[in-house]
Amino acid sequence: MGQISVKNRMRILPAGPLKGELTLPGDKSITHRAIILGSLADGVTEIGGALRGDDCRRTAVALGAMGAAIEEQGDDRLLIRGCSLHGLTEPGDILDAGNSGTTMRLLAGVLAAQPFFSVLTGDQYLRKRPMARVAAPLRSMGATILGREGGNFPPLGILGSRLRAIDYVSPIASAQVKSAILLAGLFAEGETTVTEPSLSRDHTERMFEAVGIPIRRNGLTVRTRRVTTIPAFRLTVPGDFSAAAFFLVAALLIPGSELTLRGVGMNPTRTGLLDALASMGAAIEAGRSRVISGEPVADLFVRSQELHGTEVGGALIPRMIDEIPAFAVAAAVAKGPTIIRDAAELRVKEVDRLAALAKELRRFGAEVEERPDGLLLHGSCLLSGCECDSWGDHRIAMALAVAGLAATGSTSISDPLCVSSSFPDFWERVEAIRHGAVDSLEG
């Protein structure tokens, strides 16, 4: 939630069976990318199913400050009059990415190539997140990027320039890093390549393909090159798998639940949680599989099931990186221990999510050991309601809400409005799916 400290708390009561159907808000990652490419396109781009969350709004406002005209229509449509690839103008003020790492890192890639000066800042959480991972490769393409502590922390001052292509071998599987470089590559002389250690989400690559931007993929390497224009496009954003994750886990844990989630994005670089849950014994059915704007989509059907402990690590982690908070709740309840390894990246998300999950799940009675790169959850916990802290992190707040719904007794969660980064009506959806489970915002 931006810089505002919200004192309110959300009270959650144990839920009876979750029944019915749910559609999810639009995918956050895809919405950011559509706003960026639409702003750089020639003509009017139409985006359906867009997420109206705080994070994507930050991207839109920043591009608006540089000349794009972005209009919200109805619940989830965006009309973007793009500036064309070389039409952005110097912003008159700093650009505030709020809580959104994707806004800051992807826009850094675009700004590195602009013939002007810009400053990107963010809220108290984002200003503590590392930016060297994008600043270093963008500098080697020719941009000047300054920041606090040797250029690693926001605010970032960016003086763009004529870029040259690089072949970048990324030490981390990060879609934000990959995407920043690919976006800069659209302006750079030569062919830009990015190689990652394992595959991170590939929405940028798919959207480049869908709108006709040259992109080639070979295993873990992706290539693009300079283009002169991007034609305006029409795109429909699928439901956010990361938003679905909370309801999948809640339905698995709450006896008697039967839930259908409609129109969920099923990009395989995002659905690692389904593999992890399957390894715990969960059977989640996918039906009506289709492809929308280059992204696979399906309806998911989930019913409550007994889960057992498992181990997750390696290449599975980037495929479920944002779902680990929800997964940890499932692991706390599952019979027997679960080990999460190779997940040190969680320490540099909106907050240190390993520390947050260990501390908050213990309040519910779970036995959790924190490790440098993951968690050991002993499992078999009968969650008991508690007063807990969202740490101002949307996904921690929603994971704790799932724990609260599955717990005995009442739970109260601090700063619940932080969910607006990615899922503004999360609390209303929870209430709708289990009427009476969410009580009130307590003053």
CA distances from 204 to 101, 176, 180, 182, 295 (A): 16, 9, 10, 8, 11
# residues contacting ligand S3P (CB under 6 A): 12
Select 217 or 335, whichever has its Cβ closest to ligand S3P. Answer: 217
175 binds ligand S3P (CB under 6 A): yes
For the record, the structure tokens of 222 come out as: 């992706």
- Could you say which DSSP state residue 24 is in? P
CA distance 213 to 173: 23
Crossing angle of helices 101-111 and 175-185, in 10° steps, is 20
Range 179-197 burial, b when 16+ CB lie within 10 A, else e = bbbbbbbbbbeeebbbebe
421 binds ligand S3P (CB under 6 A): no
Select 54 or 299, whichever has its Cβ closest to ligand S3P. Answer: 54
Least distance between ligand S3P and beta carbon 345 (Å)? 6
The window from 14-22, 85-93, 174-182, 429-437 that contacts ligand S3P (CB under 6 A) reads 174-182
393 binds ligand S3P (CB under 6 A): no
Containing H/E element for 420? none
Residue whose C-alpha is closest to residue 282's, from 299, 309, 316, 306: 306
Least distance between ligand S3P and beta carbon 18 (Å)? 25
59 binds ligand S3P (CB under 6 A): no
- Looking at 39, 59, 114, 176, which residue binds ligand S3P (CB under 6 A)? 176
Select 11 or 395, whichever has its Cβ closest to ligand S3P. Answer: 395
Segment 204-263, which members bind ligand S3P (CB under 6 A)? Answer: none
Least distance between ligand S3P and beta carbon 60 (Å)? 15
Select 119 or 348, whichever has its Cβ closest to ligand S3P. Answer: 348
Residue nearest ligand S3P (C-beta atom): 29
Select 94 or 348, whichever has its Cβ closest to ligand S3P. Answer: 348
Least distance between ligand S3P and beta carbon 395 (Å)? 8
Select 240 or 299, whichever has its Cβ closest to ligand S3P. Answer: 240
Select 33 or 434, whichever has its Cβ closest to ligand S3P. Answer: 33
- By annotation, the residues acting in catalysis are 322
CA distance 134 to 284: 37
CA distance 332 to 265: 26
411 binds ligand S3P (CB under 6 A): no
- Looking at 237, 321, 326, 381, which residue binds ligand S3P (CB under 6 A)? 321
Residue whose C-alpha is closest to residue 52's, from 65, 68, 34: 34
Interacting residues of 107 by C-beta distance below 8 A, sequence separation 6+: 36, 59, 62, 63, 95, 97, 120
Least distance between ligand S3P and beta carbon 129 (Å)? 9
Q: How many CB atoms lie within 10 A of CB 110?
A: 25
For the record, the structure tokens of 344 come out as: 């040190």
For the record, the structure tokens of 440 come out as: 């009130």
The window from 39-47, 112-120, 141-149, 171-179 that contacts ligand S3P (CB under 6 A) reads 171-179
CA distance 169 to 151: 20
Hey, which residues does 10 pair with through a beta bridge? Answer: 413, 441
- Looking at 99, 114, 174, 414, which residue binds ligand S3P (CB under 6 A)? 174
- Looking at 240, 322, 393, 415, which residue binds ligand S3P (CB under 6 A)? 322
- Looking at 14, 29, 222, 396, which residue binds ligand S3P (CB under 6 A)? 29
Least distance between ligand S3P and beta carbon 344 (Å)? 12
Backbone angles phi, psi at 168, to 5 degrees: -105, 125
The window from 168-176, 208-216, 266-274, 299-307 that contacts ligand S3P (CB under 6 A) reads 168-176
| Distance, CA of 206 to chain centre | 17
CA distance 144 to 162: 11
202 binds ligand S3P (CB under 6 A): no
CA distance 17 to 32: 35
Backbone angles phi, psi at 165, to 5 degrees: -65, 150
Least distance between ligand S3P and beta carbon 236 (Å)? 18
Segment 94-153, which members bind ligand S3P (CB under 6 A)? Answer: 102
Chain residues in the site for ligand S3P (CB under 6 A)? 29, 32, 102, 174-176, 179, 200-201, 321-322, 345
